[in-house]
Structure 1
Amino acid sequence: MADKDGLTPFANEPLTDFGQEREWRAMEEAIRAVRSRLGREYPLRLGSRTMYTEEKIVSSNPARPDEVIGRVSRADRKLAEEAMGEAAAAFEWWKRVPAAERAAYLLEAASLLRERKHIFSAWMIVEAGKNWSEADADTAEAIDFLEYYAREMLRLEELADSRPLVRIAGETNRMTYIPLGVGIVIPPWNFPLAICAGMTAAAVVTGNTVVLKPASTTPVIAYHFYELMREAGLPPGVLHYLPGSGGEIGDYLTSHPQTRFISFTGSKEVGLHINRLAADTPAGQIWIKRLVAEMGGKDGIVVDETADLDAAAQAIVASAFGFQGQKCSAGSRAIVVEAVYDEVVAKVVERTRALSVGLPEENHAIGPVIDRSSYEKILSYIDIGKGEGRLLTGGAAAEGGGYFLQPTVFADVDGKARIMQEEIFGPVLAIAKASDWREGIQIYNETEFGLTGAFFSTDESRIQEAMETMHCGNLYFNRKCTGAFVGVHPFGGFNLSGTDSKAGGPDYLPLFMQAKVTSRKL
């Protein structure tokens, strides 16, 4: 049944069942097709211009570091300035395009992406090191963002004349939302399609123009998303594809006086740096820049003695090691009450040891981490962990020739230890013991982050108290702390996890607009 705007009600894109031979073969074919296109050169895209530069960003396969995924043209400050100028010029006409037309581009892009779902997933398998299920979920989430934000824009437009303003005699009053201007979108490498698509789509559908600076480790996937949007009919000038160094063009664009907002997903350190730059007001800037930021987490799962221990152990392992722990929502901490501590730890270790490590193309549970820098950083944290806890499994590099690491579990870790406090962004789990469930929640809360968390219990009074006392933006009960669905679990965190902007929820699009009230005397 269609809504009154003619669209079917929003529903999340189904995940692929690779247990079906047809789907399995389709993914194998997609991987072969993508592999036949490796090593190509990719241009910058500024307005209607296609530009190749001498300087290149070389994207490599983290499972086979010598294998080049693509050579992507690299922008400098001169080209960044040109992109800003074109985006600012395009904003003057794009902001007047009806919301229904802007939404239609997103819906068309979602339709095209749905037709090529396995191809886009295959690009993530070879460029980002995702296994089949992780890549498929990323592509499905990208479709969801496109569909959801299109519908949200139409909903906001319908509300323009029905917002509950107080009526007074002799006047008509109206509040509408108008776009901000030129935005800089800086997506992460760990969800190189979904978050890139979501951040860009939200800015574009609300009437803004965008300079997209993709992550330097996954620029090829971002290029294919750009091409998808153009194929969907998005006019030249609305979206610009501008790979380059964060320290060079990223800082330049963030500080630019014509930049109206920055949408960023990445590390705490980079997010705080962007926040400092955005707070300045250079000559010619006549607004306060808006920052929409998601900056990571040190997420955890608390387990009490009434919980289903098998379900808790499974959730801990899935949360800690899904996509090699390279998620801002990854459950890199587990806090278990003393009464069931040994039993839960044993179950976690057993399940962790059962995880296979190998090539993402072969759909192993654990693939490589993204690059050598991450690989070395995670190994250094593993060394730290050996002095802060009891190593139960893993603890070293894994075979394979790429950036493979053994999924690693440390037990008996103090709540204030570095591996319990600092975001590692790798396959490392720290487990702490609590005397009771309240102390477990206290240990969980003792962090500078506040993104996701989970509480396992069958005691309703404890669940109710945990709802109030566990301090994070996305809190789950008796399930893993990863896997937020668009429209179902609006996503964003507290403290140094970011601006709690709740991507994929009804409060998100207004962040890219400003409210204008008009009052007319009768």
Structure 2
Amino acid sequence: MVLPFKHEPFTDFTDEKNRREFEAALKKVEGELGKDYPIVINGKKIYTDDKLISINPGNSEQVIGSVSKAAIEHVDQAFESALEAFKTWRKIPAEARADILFRAAAIVRRRKHEFSAWLVYDAGKPWGQADGDTAEGIDFLEYYGRQMLEIAKGKPLNDRENEHNSYYYQPMGPGVTIPPWNFAFAIVCGTAVAPIVAGNPVLLKPSENTPVIAYKLVEVLEEAGLPKGVLNFVPGDPAEIGNYLVDHKETRFINFTGSRQTGTRVIERASIVREGQRHLKRVVAEMGGKDTIIVDNDADLDLAADAIVNSAFGFSGQKCSACSRAVIHKDVYDEVLEKAVALTKEITVGNPAEGNVYMGAVVNKKQFEKIKDYIEIGKKEGELVYGGETDDSKGYFVQPTIFKDVAPDARIMQEEIFGPVVAFTKAENFDELLEIANNTEYGLTGAVISNNREHLEQARYDFHVGNLYFNRGCTAAIVGYQPFGGFKMSGTDSKAGGPDYLQHFLEAKVVSETY
């Protein structure tokens, strides 16, 4: 019997026992840094001279691991492996496929602190954020396994006399998963195992920034009993193999999470029918956001400030759901800003491998320079109230940064920064709060802090985002509780962690039999 889905609990690091256990996990992982990791095709480990080098964002001199880079010929080999594996994997009962996910979840749960420690080193995640990332990966394994058991039952149809009709779902074939670096275990896990449990082999190209933790998932699924060739691990340079993976005639689907620029290019390239291609490619794309918290004039202002600060600066703002726009009613603008600055002053910044800080470094030098540029833009577009300092002498550190009195159409109010920068602006009334909230090309997450039920109901229908939250922050969606995906240029609104997600990797089929 499979128990109902239950969200994996987070670790309380105020508990001394939990702190000691996590410190021990960090020490264990530290002793394993610097190893070489292979490409994996049809279960075979392949090492190449050309490597991706993973660096600790909080200590740019610390190598986390070296991962072999796949070339074009490896992609072709992986597709051959996937096509061969598909012949049998597609016919494996859904219960057996789901059991592999449940076993994988049990493995990760037993080693939860170890996986979170890898996230601390590989992605620079603070302890709580790393723990949440690992918990979300466990949730994806548990939830998608249960969803597949339901989907395997098919859907009821009507029958006529001497006729029986059945409606069921079948897998599509090999596809490509291209996850991001910011949820380096959770999203890697969810985007890979969803099509796999649906019966499709996957070619997984992890982010070049966080390939080591992605390889750890490959090891877990292998240990859980996933057959060879069902998951092929092809890390590499996006410029070298990214387009080829999307363009390949055997690619049935592309499961992508990343920037708007790359996502729209994937959609465009996937629409082209290549020589020998006999199917239309599906694209599942989550492409970022420019997320707003609006604060009404009768809101709980302490709650508002806390929601803004934690949504803006959790994991250094490196979430597509992060709050980078605070739109405040003029009557409470100064008070909310004052409270937010006071909370921000309490934020600790440092290398999470050395202690339980609130914020770590940003992921790499390129992002560091991009965020620095936006801070300089912000100084011209508004008034710097707090932060703005940067330091890359050892790691890529950016202090939490707040700007005030920024125009709604300013660049730092419109463009995705993906860093710890939030801009405040004021509005005359609730209609204007909503108007500003909707004035970007994105529509991923948003939040409304208000005690006015009429205004909340107005926002329910007029705030154009895929995930809308009332009286809380705009980050931290939970699998099975708040399925995640956005409108407009935020992607295809595919709702990861929701009841419809697996159907993106399945084809519905009707069989009608006359007696």
Q: TM-score, normalised by structure 1?
A: 0.98
Matched, 1:402 2:395: yes
Provide the alpha-carbon RMSD of the alignment.
Answer: 0.9
SS state of the match for residue 499, structure 1?
Answer: coil
Query: CA offsets per residue over residues 165-208 of structure 1, 9 Å max, x none?
Result: 23333311111100010010011100010001111110100000
What is the deviation of 1:400? 6.4
Task: Identify the residue that residue 443 of structure 2 maps to in structure 1.
Answer: 450
Which of 440, 444, 457 matches 2:433?
Answer: 440
> AA paired with 2:443?
G
Which of 287, 293, 313 matches 2:279?
Answer: 287
Matched, 1:94 2:86: no
The residue correspondences of 1:323-362 to structure 2 (distance < 5 A) are 323-361=315-353, 362=355
- Of the structure 1 ranges 445-454 and 356-365, higher mean CA displacement relative to structure 2 is found in 356-365
Task: Identify the residue that residue 294 of structure 2 maps to in structure 1.
Answer: 302
Task: Identify the residue that residue 11 of structure 2 maps to in structure 1.
Answer: 16
Query: CA offsets per residue over residues 289-339 of structure 1, 9 Å max, x none?
Result: 000010100001000111000000000000000000000000110000100
Task: Identify the residue that residue 317 of structure 1 maps to in structure 2.
Answer: 309
Query: CA offsets per residue over residues 266-298 of structure 1, 9 Å max, x none?
Result: 111111111111111110001110000101000
Task: Identify the residue that residue 3 of structure 1 maps to in structure 2.
Answer: none
Contact 1:357 1:398 in 2 (8 A): no
What is the deviation of 1:258? 0.3
Which of 13, 29, 32 matches 2:27?
Answer: 32
Q: Distance in 2 between matches of 1:428 and 1:168?
A: 62
SS state of the match for residue 397, structure 2?
Answer: coil
SS state of the match for residue 259, structure 1?
Answer: coil
Q: TM-score, normalised by structure 2?
A: 0.99
Query: CA offsets per residue over residues 211-245 of structure 1, 9 Å max, x none?
Result: 00000000000000100000011111100111001
Which of 173, 192, 201 matches 1:200?
Answer: 192
Task: Identify the residue that residue 110 of structure 1 maps to in structure 2.
Answer: 105
Query: CA offsets per residue over residues 349-382 of structure 1, 9 Å max, x none?
Result: 1111111111112111111000000000000000
Q: Distance in 2 between matches of 1:174 and 1:399?
A: 61
Which of 411, 416, 419 matches 2:412?
Answer: 419
Which of 123, 126, 147 matches 2:121?
Answer: 126
Task: Identify the residue that residue 265 of structure 2 maps to in structure 1.
Answer: 273
SS state of the match for residue 65, structure 2?
Answer: strand
Matched, 1:258 2:258: no
How many residue pairs were aligned? 514
> AA paired with 2:373?
S
SS state of the match for residue 339, structure 1?
Answer: coil
Matched, 1:368 2:361: yes
> AA paired with 1:442?
E
> AA paired with 1:484?
A
Contact 2:351 2:357 in 1 (8 A): yes
Q: Distance in 2 between matches of 1:84 and 1:359?
A: 40
What is the deviation of 1:156? 1.1
Matched, 1:214 2:206: yes
Contact 1:268 1:296 in 2 (8 A): yes
Contact 1:320 1:427 in 2 (8 A): yes
Matched, 1:502 2:495: yes
Task: Identify the residue that residue 218 of structure 2 maps to in structure 1.
Answer: 226
Contact 1:491 1:504 in 2 (8 A): yes
Matched, 1:388 2:373: no
Which structure 2 segments of 5+ residues have no match?
Answer: none
Which of 141, 147, 158 matches 1:152?
Answer: 147
Task: Identify the residue that residue 130 of structure 2 maps to in structure 1.
Answer: 135
Going from structure 1 to structure 2, the CA distance change for 1:57 and 1:399 (only over 3 Å counts) comes to closer
The residue correspondences of 1:41-60 to structure 2 (distance < 5 A) are 41-60=36-55
Contact 2:58 2:394 in 1 (8 A): yes
SS state of the match for residue 390, structure 2?
Answer: coil
Matched, 1:174 2:166: yes
Q: Distance in 1 between matches of 2:303 and 2:29?
A: 37
What is the deviation of 1:488? 0.3
What is the deviation of 1:164? 3.5
> AA paired with 1:515?
A
SS state of the match for residue 497, structure 1?
Answer: coil
Matched, 1:481 2:474: yes
Q: Distance in 1 between matches of 2:394 and 2:81?
A: 44
Contact 1:91 1:209 in 2 (8 A): yes
What is the deviation of 1:66? 1.1
Contact 2:156 2:167 in 1 (8 A): no
Task: Identify the residue that residue 231 of structure 2 maps to in structure 1.
Answer: 239
Q: Distance in 2 between matches of 1:442 and 1:181?
A: 43
Q: Distance in 1 between matches of 2:219 and 2:94?
A: 22
Contact 2:443 2:489 in 1 (8 A): yes
SS state of the match for residue 65, structure 1?
Answer: strand
Q: Distance in 2 between matches of 1:170 and 1:298?
A: 56
Contact 1:328 1:425 in 2 (8 A): yes
Contact 2:156 2:166 in 1 (8 A): no
Q: Distance in 2 between matches of 1:28 and 1:277?
A: 46
Report percent identity of matched pairs. 51
Matched, 1:186 2:178: yes
Which of 464, 472, 487 matches 2:465?
Answer: 472
Which of 55, 71, 83 matches 2:78?
Answer: 83
> AA paired with 2:499?
P
Contact 1:13 1:140 in 2 (8 A): yes
Q: Distance in 1 between matches of 2:397 and 2:148?
A: 42
Contact 2:61 2:394 in 1 (8 A): no
Q: Distance in 2 between matches of 1:237 and 1:61?
A: 31
Task: Identify the residue that residue 505 of structure 2 maps to in structure 1.
Answer: 512
